[in-house]
Chain A
Amino acid sequence: MTGSAPAGSAATVVRPVRSASLAAAGSGRGTLLGALDEQPDALVYFLLNVGDGDSQVLLLPPGSSHAERRVVVVDVATRHKVPELLIALHQAGLLPRPGTAGQVALLVATHPHFDHIGGMGQLVEVLGQGSGCVDQFWDPGFYSPNPSFHDLMRRLEDDPRIRRLQPTSGTTLFLDCVRLTVLGPGVALRMRFDTYGVQVNDASLTLMVEFPATRLYAEPAQDRPGEVNRRLTARRSRRLLLGADAQFTSWAQTTSDFPDLHDHGNPLLQKELRTAVGQDPLRADVFKLSHHASKNGVNVELLARVNARTTLVSSSAGGGRYNFPHLLAMEAAREAVQATTQSGAARHDDDALGIHVTGSILDTGEPVGSVALLLPRGSRPVRLFRLMDGPADPVDLTRAREAVPPP
């Protein structure tokens, strides 16, 4: 941990990652694949390093409906990264050959910006037009004149087997033991799209991923040998909040659609509410910040409510066209984890605060790159790996280095 550099200087936005904060790559299949060999029922989330853009893949655990793993793909910014990852997962024995029927359980275009769908049409083509590889496609229903949007629509039109949905807040999909809930846009926002009075970023589909979605367990019935009783489990599942490019208007409606009903001043009432409705619907273990940590994507209040232990940013680490991530957003993320406004204490390093930027570089100058998060089914901790790739580099899972948990 180190103290702060002068506020506002470029160096304070994203500092190089300390080499010591990442374990060695390991031999053979490497640490990430080794961890997956040990935990074959884990959920894995990939946030790929594509510069200022989003390409995300959820590697689903094998489930009751599918013996083999499937994937959910959320945004495809560039042409190569996601196809390369699917091939790498296949070569590692974790996925059937790309293009296998039903392999992509869900393809999500959060909103039609080039840095989110620039490679999606190409992905549909690579997976095989008419192959049945993509089961469902979700988008918010926002029209865009950009050519990537036309390209994607043309390929979807040519593949009518892909089921289409325009979800709004509250839509929930169960993929075996993984639950996806759409947090935004709300219906009221959706109804304004056609007026072009809604910013395309605020049309973003924001998603809460919950794993495991299992709510029940079975125990032997004491009085009826050979039979079981079902009971609700009190075990908390893990949650990932994928913020797409949502900005204030979208989050404002989300906080209205998903109110925090907990009464923190009354422990008894809080306990009853928690039993009745579960935890705060916006609470998450992992928050992929919206809009590449621009200053318009999140604020401290939202971050505090989400209360994530791990915060992910999909952007170059300074520079680029927009100089993402913005100092204000990064400081908000830091402040939400380590409040220093009152105390004036020195700020911890980002890795110690659980904040990870895909475009970060190591203190040796090497890219730290894509993030892979392994979410175990049981109570074991979430594990975070970095794939050490630049935006144009191929995906090599054997090079993954695991983040050393902060002290």
Chain B
Amino acid sequence: MLTEAAGAPWRPERLIRAGLQVDDRLRYVVVEEVVDGISVLHVWPWPRADRKGRLSWATDEQGPVELTVLVEQLRDQLYRGQLRRQPRCGDTFAGVLRDRAQDAEARLVADLRPLFPDGLWDVSADAHAAAKLAYQGALADVEPPPAGEHAQRLPDRGRAPRLVLAAPRRDHRGGASR
């Protein structure tokens, strides 16, 4: 059973500023778990915003595509030289996943490049802001802006960087410290 998400595709400010075409080809990639040298990426459909400005996802019984990657490899391929942080739960990216990526679910992914041939875009800041809005919206009433008051906007932190997936720096197939 597929649950359709209504509304227009979510347009994170930083992606728009970066000039990226935002449509349903994009996937929403979240670092879901980091355990003992293993990281699991959840790959979801691109979210849509409903009439109230809330994000929703088309989901099915199978849930997200799950990619298992060694943390060291993730850092080497995606973070090193591009992001000033270590991989952590909640880091969020946008990218086009090649078809039939489900094949990669059953095994440790040795190289992310064939799965995301166009690279990934870091949308962590927008995704965290959206999560905060979702949380606050569920806690208390949402009001229209008072007359004369400008809505507070996200600070301009520049464009979302397009992250080029580097080749794995070393053979990571030896396994993590478990």
A residues within 8 Å of B by Cβ?
79, 113-115, 118, 141, 143-147, 149-151, 153-154, 156-157, 164, 196, 199-201, 291, 294-296, 321-323, 326
Contact B32 A153 (CB under 8 A): no
B169 to chain A, nearest CB (A): 23
Contact of B13 with A by CB under 8 A: no
Task: Give chain B nearest CB distance to A146 CB in angstroms.
Answer: 5
Residues of chain A lying within 8 A (CB to CB) of residue B32? 113-114, 146
B134 is contacted by which of A113, A150, A296, A326 (Cβ under 8 Å)? A150
- Pick the residue among B44, B56, B57, B131 that contacts A144 (CB under 8 A): B131
* Cβ-based interface call for B66 (8 A): yes
B30 cross-chain contacts in A, Cβ below 8 A: 145-146
Q: From residue A242, how far is it (CB to closest CB) to chain B in Å?
A: 20
Interfacial residues, chain B to chain A (CB-CB below 8 A): 28, 30, 32-33, 35-36, 38, 40, 42, 44, 47, 54-57, 59, 61, 63-64, 66, 68, 88-90, 92, 124, 127-128, 130-132, 134-135, 137-139, 178
Q: Please, which residues of chain B bring their CB within 8 A of the CB of A291?
A: 35
Tell me if A144 and B35 are in contact (CB < 8 A). Answer: no
With a cutoff of 8 Å between Cβ atoms, the chain A residues found around residue B68 in the complex are: 321
A196 to B92, CA, bound (A): 13
Across the interface, name the chain A residue whose C-beta is closest to B89.
Answer: A200
**In the docked arrangement, what's the CA distance between A156 and B139, Å?**
8
> B138 contacts A153, CB within 8 Å?
yes
Residues of B within 8 A of A149 (CB): 131, 134-135
Beta-carbon contact of B132 and A143 below 8 Å = yes
Contact in complex: A321, B131 (CB < 8 Å)? no
Q: Per a CB cutoff under 8 Å, which of A147, A164, A296 touches B44?
A: A147
Secondary structure of the B contact surface, majority rule? mixed
Would you call B47 and A150 a contact (CB within 8 A)? yes
| Shortest Cβ-Cβ A-B pairs, 9 listed | A145-B127, A143-B131, A153-B134, A157-B138, A153-B138, A147-B57, A156-B138, A145-B131, A145-B92
Q: How far is the CB of A163 from chain B (nearest CB, A)?
A: 11
CA distance A113 to B139 in the complex (A): 19
Instruction: Name the A residues within 8 Å of B44 (CB-CB).
Output: 147
Interfacial chain B residues near A201, Cβ < 8 Å? 89
**In contact, A153 and B137 (Cβ under 8 angstroms):** yes
CA distance A181 to B33 in the complex (A): 27
Contact A147 B47 (CB under 8 A): yes
Indicate whether A145 sits within 8 Å of B128 (C-beta atoms), given known contacts A294-B36, A326-B36.
yes
How many whole Å from B173's CB to the nearest CB in chain A? 16
Cβ distance B57 to chain A, nearest Cβ, rounded Å: 4
Interface centre among A79, A144, A196 (most CB of B within 10 A): A144
Q: With A156-B138, A321-B40 given, is the CB distance from A150 to B131 under 8 Å? A: yes
- Other A-B contacts than A144-B90, A153-B54, A295-B36, 19 sampled, CB-CB below 8 A, are A141-B135, A143-B131, A144-B131, A145-B30, A145-B92, A145-B127, A145-B130, A147-B47, A150-B54, A150-B56, A151-B56, A151-B57, A153-B135, A153-B138, A164-B138, A199-B89, A200-B89, A296-B36, A321-B38
Closest CB of chain B to A118's CB: distance in Å?
A: 7
A/B interface sample: 8 pairs, CB < 8 A: A115-B33, A143-B128, A147-B64, A149-B131, A196-B90, A296-B36, A321-B38, A322-B35
Task: Give bound CA distance, A113 to B40, whole Å.
Answer: 12
Interface contact B134-A154, CB-CB below 8 Å = yes
Across the interface, do A322 and B38 meet the contact criterion of CB distance under 8 Å? yes
Q: Give min CB distance, A289 to chain B, whole Å.
A: 14
Complex: A115 Cα to B89 Cα, angstroms = 13
